[in-house]
Amino acid sequence: SESKTDIRKGLVGVVADVTAVSKVMPETNSLTYRGYPVQDLAENCSFEEVAYLLWNGELPNASELADFRAEEAAERALSPALHEVIRAFPHGAHPMDAIRTAVSFMGMEDPEAGDVSEPATRRKAMRLLAKIPGAIAAAHRATKGEAPVAADPSLSFAESFFHLVFGRVPQPEVVKAFDVSLILYAEHGFNASTFTARTITSTGADLHGAVVGGIAALKGPLHGGANEAVMHMLSEIGDPARAVEWLQSRFDHRALVMGFGHRVYKNGDSRVPTMTKYAERMAEVVGDRRWMEMSRLLAAEMLAKKNIHPNLDFPAGPAYHLMGFDIPLFTPIFVASRITGWAAHVIEQSADNRLIRPLSEYTGAAQRSVPSMAHRG
Ligand code: SDX
């Protein structure tokens, strides 16, 4: 039924609050974290520096970075109870459901559970940042019948991620490409999962609850789940020679093409050129040009026929595949990064909070009286 009021379905174009964390500028296809262009951060900084920046507003100096790295590295181990819970996860469970459940469990065992003060939230954020990779990796390894790998505190965040998943650290170019992807995924304004996290925070609930909600939102294929969908799509196409014909069949069925389009960017996603460059590097390192060649053809055809540009998930999908990750790990990797943005927004929301509670316009049945059981159809 028709609405009388101006309803912005999907909150399109609605400015819900202010934020000082990041700025998305669709006019110039650009994005800054705390004022710094994301592509400059990706080229010049480590993910740990960017995490520090998002949480503190400034880049760390050498000693601040050393302290931050040491704190994170010291919190990587999972409790024996969490390891037991992970072993009990149903076989074949999606890693996004696994990490969502693991974070929920971490909330119950957190030493400061129930304390929503800013200092406690910051410490919880550090514990989550440190432990999420281990939980993702342990759950993934469990499904393959493999024991978890003990965290090595001497490794960087990105190196440690590989070590926890595979038991080894790849060559520096691969680690750098992964670190770049983490930086690009770290933060993006009021996207669906971040807005979910802020909504949960606005009720006075704790960080773990907000992050569990964020993970649930991120799993969907219209949001973070797209990076997995992209690789499934490329695998289905299989051969660059089939790309254009395959795309035409999608058009004929009016089907979505995963990894394309964006609510805010209409002329290109600020993060795509940097991620594409590093995905191309991965293709060179691995010696497998097929996926990037297919990607190039799809992007050119989407632009020519639909005027729709790729989003970050488009180059991230093949990049993670070329790094050796199984497809179901792609969106959990996004979680391992976006925990930084979510936590920054949770801290910001708490510092100047008002309950998020919009209105709806009722379009259901007119008011009526409750019939007795005998009078129901
Ligand atoms: C992320 O918000 C964020 O910042 C998210 C994110 C982050 O960092 O947090 O950037 C990460 O989630 C990226 C998005 C990943 N999702 C996908 O790749 C899924 C495929 N994309 C689409 O479903 C879509 O583009 C969305 C969901 C991303 C955006 O949806 P909108 O803003 O509601 O746009 P729309 O669906 O109304 O599209 C407008 C038009 C439509 O055609 P018309 O009805 O006007 O004729 O463009 C078409 C759409 O059909 N269109 C597509 C398309 N995306 C848009 N057609 C085919 N394939 C696509 N991918």
| pLDDT tens string 113-166 | 999 999 999 999 999 999 999 999 999 999 999 999 999 999 999 999 999 999
- Closest atom, ligand 1, to C-alpha of 250: 57
CB 191 within 8 A of CB 16: no
β 22-25/30-33 pair status: antiparallel
Ligand 1 centroid–CA 177 distance in Å is 25
Q: Whose CA is nearest to atom 23 of ligand 1?
A: 222
Instruction: Please say whether the dihedral angle defined by the alpha carbons of residues 232, 142, 69 and 336, taken in this order, is positive or negative.
Output: positive
| Dist. CA 348 → ligand 1 center (Å) | 27
User: Could you report the predicted ipTM of this complex, rounded to two decimals?
Assistant: 0.98
Whole-number Cα distances in Å, 329 to 59, 135, 286, 303, 333: 29, 12, 19, 29, 6
Annotated active-site residue 223? The verdict is yes
User: Measured between alpha carbons, how far is 218 from 272 in angstroms, rounded to an integer?
Assistant: 19
Tokens representing 106 are: 């971490």
Q: Is 222 in the pocket of ligand 1 (CB under 6 A)?
A: yes
DSSP-derived letter for residue 21 is: S
What amino acid occupies position 292? M
Decide if 262 is catalytic.
Answer: yes
Q: What is the mean pLDDT of residues 310-332?
A: 98
Does residue 313 carry a catalytic annotation?
yes
Does ligand 1 come within 6 angstroms of the Cβ of 261?
Answer: yes
300: number of Cβ within 10 Å: 12
Between 3-7, 289-293, 357-361, the lowest mean confidence (pLDDT) is in 3-7
- pLDDT grade, residue 2 (50/70/90)? low
User: In 10 A of CB 215, how many CB atoms?
Assistant: 29
The pTM of this model reads 0.97
User: How much is the pLDDT for 5?
Assistant: 82
Residue 160 near residue 133, CB atoms below 8 Å? yes
- The one catalytic residue in 309, 313, 321, 345 is 313
